[in-house]
Structure 1
Amino acid sequence: EGGEVGLVGIAFALGSAALWAAYIVLGKSVADAGQGLDDMAAGFGIASVLLAVPLFGPFAVAHSNALGDWRIWVLGLGVGLLSSVVPYVLDQYVLVRVGRARFALLLALLPATATVVGAVVLTQIPTTLEALGIVAVIVAVVVGGLPARRDRGVADIPPP
């Protein structure tokens, strides 16, 4: 906490922003293709195998008794479903209905939501600089979405 960011930190932040943008654009393409959930299921299956094979061997040797415990498998399945499958299914569902600009706005609200939960549940109060950063991200997404809203016209915007 409170350390210097440096060029490496800035590079990681820019890389993260680029990957978020790619996630939104590619997610919208997959959602619009009509087989978003099927494609996502295939992607999760392939990614699971590719990521598990190199890690499974060393882990199995070091923790062979843990892999024989059914509770580990149930917990792993639960973590996988709740941390990846459920959020991505919801993302696909929302992307089809609201479009990229509104979806980006919803994603921009996640840091604010996490901050409120952190403050209420964990009593983690953000610093002034952290709060300003969250506000800056939300403002940037809102301002970035304004031209798209103007181009559609007022008649195309559904009432709240």
Structure 2
Amino acid sequence: MGTFGKQILAAWHAKELLRGLLRLTFKHAHTRPDREAVSAARHRFNAHIADHAHLPELVTLAETVDQWWDGIEAYVTTGITNAASEGNNRVVKLEARQAYGFRNRANQRLRSRCATTRRARGCLTPHQVGQPRITPQRLVIELFVQAPAKIRSRVIKVRSAGISQRRDSH
């Protein structure tokens, strides 16, 4: 194996050691990890990096892991992340780009809330079978039932007149 192959192999081993560390979470291991297992996995990762300190990419990776270790350790021990808030931030930024900026703060807040709560509101997409859908006919019926009696009587007169006119025209 050539020099570049050895470097790629060392990087791959570092990646696998880091993945092994992240696999200690309850989500993957189905048991709560103990501190000894987490520190042993981190030690294996750091020992591998120390053995390959001549590779600047691995040194940078080790420095990044050290900078973010508090968050990584919190994730490994609790399984809690800030992924949902990061996802909402991404959606809000996407909305801002698609809107070419907002005219005022109220509009920005409204569109951001609308974009980030679609799942909670039960976004009516075709693939969501079983979600209640309101057809145009059903909407007219519901609006008609909610309308005051005076308006309903006018609508009934107009509809019955239209039906009798159609019968007469045939």
Greater RCO (Cα-Cα under 8 Å, separation 6 or more): 1
Given the two structures, how large is their TM-score scaled by the length of structure 1?
0.31
Larger radius of gyration: 2
Given the two structures, how large is their TM-score scaled by the length of structure 2?
0.29
Q: Which one has the bigger helix percentage? A: 1
